[in-house]
Amino acid sequence: MSNTLRAIVWGGALCAVLDGTCVTLLYGAKGIKAIQVWQGVASSILGAKAFRLGWRSGMLGLLLHCAVAFTVATMFVLISQRIPMAPQHYILAGLGYGIVVFAVMNLIVVPLSAMPKRPTNASLLVAQVLMHLLLVGLPISAAAHHFAKSSQ
């Protein structure tokens, strides 16, 4: 397996597990069941129907979450190979990428999806930004840095 593929697999897996666990616990603390969290993700393509399909839609939501995690990891790894400073300054690159992913997801992807509109508040927004910084951008960037280093 090439170092590029290793970076994508590790970055995507870390992102999927860390972010997925955190979002499940965050919403769980607000009384929202895990199945509802993942049905919410599935509602991006199924709309409100996702909340009536039980774990079938919950598993679809989890699968979609993983697909996004591996997609954003792939994009970062491939882009960072063209920008030599990204793996070298992986903490700044990861934090910046976390903001970019947050912005793209919340300003483009979610509004264009079939997900029912829901209210947000400042504390949830701050939590989501921090999650994207620390649990999306940084793990992906750290994996890219690690495997870029081991190929030198």
pLDDT digits (tens, 9 = 90+) for 66-98: 999 999 999 999 999 998 788 789 999 999 999
Among 12, 19, 9, 7, which residue's Cα sits nearest to residue 143?
A: 7
The pLDDT assigned to 86 comes to: 85
* pLDDT of the residue at 77: 96
pLDDT recorded at residue 118: 84
End-to-end CA distance of the chain: 16
Task: Give me the residues of the chain with pLDDT under 70, please.
Answer: 150-152
Supply the angle between the helices 138-149 and 90-104 in degrees, to the nearest 10.
140
Residue 148 pLDDT:
86
d(CA 132, CA 135): 6
Q: Which amino acid is at 131?
A: M
How far is C-alpha 5 from the chain's CA centre? 18
**pLDDT reported for residue 16:** 98
pLDDT computed for residue 152 by the predictor: 54
